């Protein structure tokens, strides 16, 4: 009798009293920067260490979240290390990179990460990719990939996971001979998702190459609905069933948190998006917001003489001054703030807008325990024959 594979043994592990897994609610761990040294703070969200992020992933499983996402940074947030640590301490929760910058990973490196995660922990890994930040890429000696290059990159990964030898010369680079040794045909390839704003070129790439889409936070439900429509239309254009492309919307959540922590999670985090050239303008346009506050924000004295975006210079806890210029109405539209019932109502609006899945952002899984329980009860009640 053949020995079972790691994938089959881990996938079949018992739940050990875990609550029912939520189909459409996931959680980010370590949203934003990791600080090298602890800082005095009233709030757990002001600084999460790498070790705390691992524990957050364990708690997310215990609370019933479907999966956890981790956005990689080249400081103390290397995705392979942290996601593997979470997977090793859990049995059923999916672990997803949300996102890894594709140009920073040679295709063999990315393929090896996906294959190893699946072989070690069962079919629970999602490889989330993105194009990256142009300024950061230039500083690292890398280039922003075109969308055709990204589509080819994903195709190379899938061929490697299928056990093929790949010879490629095209937009994604020149690779005379690529192969993964010892690919196990019984271990399924991971899903590949794209972190994107879902605009025309990105939507076309999503439909052509990806299993899922991760949308960033600070979108309104109206903006989400427009992006979902565009993604579905691109799928139909190439004869793909739109239901096969899973769309996950990130939403900043601050259930029953005080005003200062809420503003740090929502307004101050929004500053790091709005301050980024091009990105801020796009968010304002897609959400239908007045651009005047964006101009005032960028002229704030804290940003004078700054030679990089605020996200690379400051932790969000240091941005409460500029954050005062972010209109409260923008945040109440795009974030789940206030009481747990109010947060549930906000998340429901994103689901009604067409998002297949919501991922809580900013606050920790434990801070969202009441929200997860209320969401589970809401979902059960909405089912035919529910309470």
User: In Å, what is the CA distance from 205 to each residue of 32, 101, 110, 194, 266?
Assistant: 26, 16, 19, 9, 30
What is the separation of C-alpha 197 from the centre of its chain, rounded to a whole number of angstroms?
12
CA 257/CA 219 separation, integer angstroms: 21
Instruction: Pick from 41-45, 50-54, 326-330 the range whose average pLDDT is largest.
Output: 326-330
Tell me, what's the pLDDT at 38?
59
Closest CA to 160 of 126, 194, 109, 104: 109
Q: How many CB atoms lie within 10 A of CB 347?
A: 24
Tell me, what's the pLDDT at 248?
98
DSSP per residue over 350-387, as a string? HHHTT-SEEEEEES-TGGGHHHHHHHHHHHHHHSTT--
Query: Does position 3 have pLDDT exceeding 80, yes or no?
Result: no
Q: How many CB atoms lie within 10 A of CB 31?
A: 25
Confidence of residue 35 (pLDDT cuts 50, 70, 90): low
- 36 against 371, higher pLDDT: 371
What is the arithmetic mean of pLDDT over 219-244?
A: 98
CA 367/CA 372 separation, integer angstroms: 10
DSSP letter assigned to residue 305? T
For residue 355, what are the contacts with CB-CB under 8 A and spacing of at least 6?
215, 224, 228, 247, 248, 249
pLDDT digits (tens, 9 = 90+) for 237-271: 999 999 999 999 999 999 999 999 999 999 999 99
User: 1.20.1440.230, 3.90.1150.10, 3.10.180.10, 3.20.20.30: which CATH number matches 19-34+43-263+337-380?
Assistant: 3.20.20.30
Between 11-15, 217-221, 267-271, 273-277, the lowest mean confidence (pLDDT) is in 11-15
Beta bridge partners of 170: 173
Q: Report the relative pairing of strands 166-170 and 125-130 from DSSP bridges.
A: unpaired
- 74 against 255, higher pLDDT: 255
Q: Report the percent of the chain where pLDDT is more than 70.
A: 94
CA 242/CA 102 separation, integer angstroms: 25
CA 358/CA 258 separation, integer angstroms: 23
User: CB–CB of 105/157 below 8 Å?
Assistant: no
Beta bridge partners of 362: 253
Query: Does position 341 have pLDDT exceeding 60, yes or no?
Result: yes
CA 349/CA 141 separation, integer angstroms: 41
Domain ranges of the chain: 19-34+43-263+337-380
pLDDT digits (tens, 9 = 90+) for 103-141: 999 999 999 999 999 999 999 999 999 998 887 788 889
């Amino acid at each position: 009798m053949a020995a079972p594979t790691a994938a089959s043994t881990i996938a079949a592990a018992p739940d050990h009293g875990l609550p029912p897994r939520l189909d459409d609610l996931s959680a980010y761990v370590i949203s934003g920067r990791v600080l090298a040294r602890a800082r005095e703070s009233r709030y757990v969200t002001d600084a999460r260490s790498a070790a705390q992020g691992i524990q957050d992933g364990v708690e997310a499983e215990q609370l019933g979240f479907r999966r956890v996402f981790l956005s990689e940074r080249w400081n103390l947030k290397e995705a392979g290390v942290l996601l593997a640590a979470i997977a090793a301490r859990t049995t059923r929760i999916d672990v997803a990179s949300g996102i890894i910058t594709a140009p920073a990973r040679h295709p063999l490196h990315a393929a090896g990460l996906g294959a190893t995660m699946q072989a070690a922990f069962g079919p629970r890994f999602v490889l989330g990719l993105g194009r990256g930040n142009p300024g950061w890429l230039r500083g690292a000696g890398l280039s922003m990939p075109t969308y055709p290059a990204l589509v080819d990159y994903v195709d190379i990964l899938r061929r490697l996971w299928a056990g093929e030898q790949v010879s490629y010369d095209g937009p994604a680079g020149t690779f005379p001979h690529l192969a993964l040794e010892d690919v196990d045909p019984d271990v399924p390839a991971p899903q590949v998702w794209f972190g994107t704003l879902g605009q025309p070129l990105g939507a076309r790439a999503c439909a052509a190459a990806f299993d899922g889409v991760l949308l960033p936070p600070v979108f309104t439900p109206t903006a989400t609905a427009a992006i979902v429509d565009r993604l579905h239309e691109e799928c139909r254009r190439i004869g793909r069933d739109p239901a096969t492309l899973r769309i996950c919307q990130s939403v900043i959540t601050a259930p029953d948190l005080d005003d200062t922590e809420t503003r740090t999670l929502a307004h101050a985090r929004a500053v790091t998006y709005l301050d980024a050239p091009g990105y801020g303008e796009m968010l304002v346009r897609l959400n239908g917001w007045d651009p005047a506050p964006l101009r005032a924000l960028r002229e704030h004295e804290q940003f004078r003489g700054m030679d990089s975006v605020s996200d690379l210079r400051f932790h969000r806890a240091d941005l409460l001054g500029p954050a005062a210029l972010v209109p409260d109405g923008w945040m109440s539209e795009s974030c789940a703030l206030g009481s747990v019932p109010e947060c549930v109502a906000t998340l429901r609006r994103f689901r009604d807008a067409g998002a297949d899945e919501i991922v809580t952002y900013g606050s920790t899984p434990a801070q969202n325990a009441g929200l997860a329980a209320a969401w589970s009860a809401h979902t059960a009640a909405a089912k035919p024959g529910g309470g």
